[in-house]
């Protein structure tokens, strides 16, 4: 009875620590993104006519420093930057952010975490958009294998990556 209560209390305390850690990372990410956008439009900075690319280009070099000690938050912001660059048609910049995000997630979360596999897919997608098919193929194969193993072969994310392999 007493031992079970102690284990329950330990589990509850771990959950609180995890929740607080996620909240702190989210707040740090929000602060970085807010600062990047608010600073960019300030009249003494880039001004109200600033483009999304200019905001990203100005903020991207500061990601590593801002998120030192918070690798999961860093990778999330880098992944977001990668997707945004990809949507803007800036594939080289997208690739750079996806590669960094994947390296960070690989170290922090391990190779089979869904977020790590997500950045691997982004990396492959950027390579495909750059026309670097030979470089993309082994990355797509790794992403399909990982997503199939972790998420299942019929999961939406697995099927998305599998589609990349056939295009």
pLDDT in single tens digits along all 167 residues of the chain: 766 666 666 666 666 555 556 566 767 666 666 666 656 556 566 666 778 898 889 889 989 998 888 899 899 999 999 999 999 999 999 999 999 999 999 999 999 999 999 999 999 999 999 999 999 999 999 999 999 999 999 999 999 888 877 76
- What SS3 state is found at 163? helix
> How open is the CA angle 100-66-46, to the nearest 5 degrees?
95
Residue 137, classified by CB atoms within 10 Å of its CB into exposed (0-12), middle (13-18) or buried (19+), is middle
pTM listed for this prediction? 0.78
Q: How far apart are CA 60 and CA 55, in angstroms?
A: 8
Looking at residue 138, its pLDDT comes to 95
Biggest CA pair distance of the chain? 66
């Amino acid at each position: 009875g007493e031992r079970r209560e102690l284990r329950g209390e330990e589990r509850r305390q771990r959950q609180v620590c995890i929740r607080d850690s996620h909240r702190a990372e989210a707040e740090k990410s929000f602060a970085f993104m807010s600062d990047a956008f608010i600073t960019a439009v300030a009249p003494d900075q880039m001004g109200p006519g600033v483009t999304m690319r200019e905001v990203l280009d100005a903020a991207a070099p500061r990601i590593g420093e801002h998120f030192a000690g918070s690798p999961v938050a860093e990778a999330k912001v880098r992944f977001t930057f990668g997707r945004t660059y990809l949507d803007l048609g800036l594939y080289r910049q997208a690739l750079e952010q996806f590669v960094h995000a994947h390296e960070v997630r690989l170290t922090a979360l391990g190779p089979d975490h869904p977020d790590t596999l997500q950045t691997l897919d982004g990396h492959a997608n950027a390579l495909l958009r750059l026309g670097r098919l030979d470089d993309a193929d082994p990355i797509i194969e790794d992403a399909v294998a990982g997503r199939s193993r972790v998420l299942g072969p019929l999961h939406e994310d697995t099927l998305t990556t599998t589609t990349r392999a056939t295009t």
